[in-house]
Amino acid sequence: MPEPKSAPLTAELYTYLLAHNPPLDPVQEALVDSTRALFPAEAIKQVAREQAPLLAFLVRLTGARTVVEVGTFTGLSALSMAQALPDGGRLITLDISEEWTAHARQAWAKAGVADRIDLRIAPALDSLRALPAEPHIDLAFIDANKDGYVDYWEEIVPRLRPGGLIVVDNVLFMGQVVDPSVTSGSGADVRVFNEHVAGDRRMESIMLAVADGLTLARRAG
């Protein structure tokens, strides 16, 4: 069996890692804190602190102008990506919760990026199917209900420009993807999704041990 080369991520090492990444700005920090205070049971849905600057970095790296996000929650990932968009860039983010996204709207307004974000409250699959069918998406981020991952992927890939990027969160799902006793629920759903991605010849993909696992996939051609 291959030996992992990564160091165990202790609290001290994680602090060191964050200290050597771009820091969250005051609005982002306030959003992290208020999410934990207002929604303690659901706060784990928020992207990890190191993922927010990574998403912004990927937007800038790809030069993305049209971004689609599946799963808004309280808006940290959308905020980070919207701040990185060039002038005229647009982010469409999809969710079903008015409560969580009302909190997101407040943060976007404070950061001055609300005019770049198009929040659509409806089942994400319906919203994706309502998008133009031709390739027009530069970057997509999927971080929502795991039983919908394959369907979201299949709606996004044909709409992704050649060279466009899909980023998918929670692809290790707390290690459940390799636990044979997990035969149902989100861990099993993510396992099925990962195999689907690995077999998709339209895309070039790589899985990384970032936070709870992150897959980056580029549209070939």
Going by C-alpha positions, the residue among 76, 74, 115 that lies closest to residue 98 is 74
Residue 14 CA to residue 27 CA, distance in Å, equals 22
pLDDT one digit per residue (tens) for the chain, 221 residues: 888 888 889 999 999 999 999 999 999 999 999 999 999 999 999 999 999 999 999 999 999 999 999 999 999 999 999 999 999 999 999 999 999 999 999 999 999 999 999 999 999 999 999 999 999 999 999 999 999 999 999 999 999 999 999 999 999 999 999 999 999 999 999 999 999 999 999 999 999 999 999 999 999 97
* Amino acid making up residue 208: L
143-146 contact pairs (CB < 8 A, 24+): 143/45, 143/47, 143/69, 143/70, 143/71, 143/73, 143/77, 143/168, 143/169, 143/170, 144/70, 144/71, 144/94, 144/95, 145/71, 145/186, 146/170, 146/173, 146/186, 146/187, 146/189, 146/190, 146/193
Going by C-alpha positions, the residue among 140, 84, 142, 75 that lies closest to residue 110 is 75
Question: Interhelix angle for 51-62 vs 76-84, to 10°?
Answer: 30
pTM of structure: 0.96
Going by C-alpha positions, the residue among 59, 36, 61 that lies closest to residue 46 is 36
DSSP 4: P
Going by C-alpha positions, the residue among 113, 19, 128 that lies closest to residue 75 is 113
Fold of 48-219: Rossmann fold (3.40.50)
Longest dimension (CA), the chain: 50
12-70 pLDDT per residue, tens: 999 999 999 999 999 999 999 999 999 999 999 999 999 999 999 999 999 999 999 99
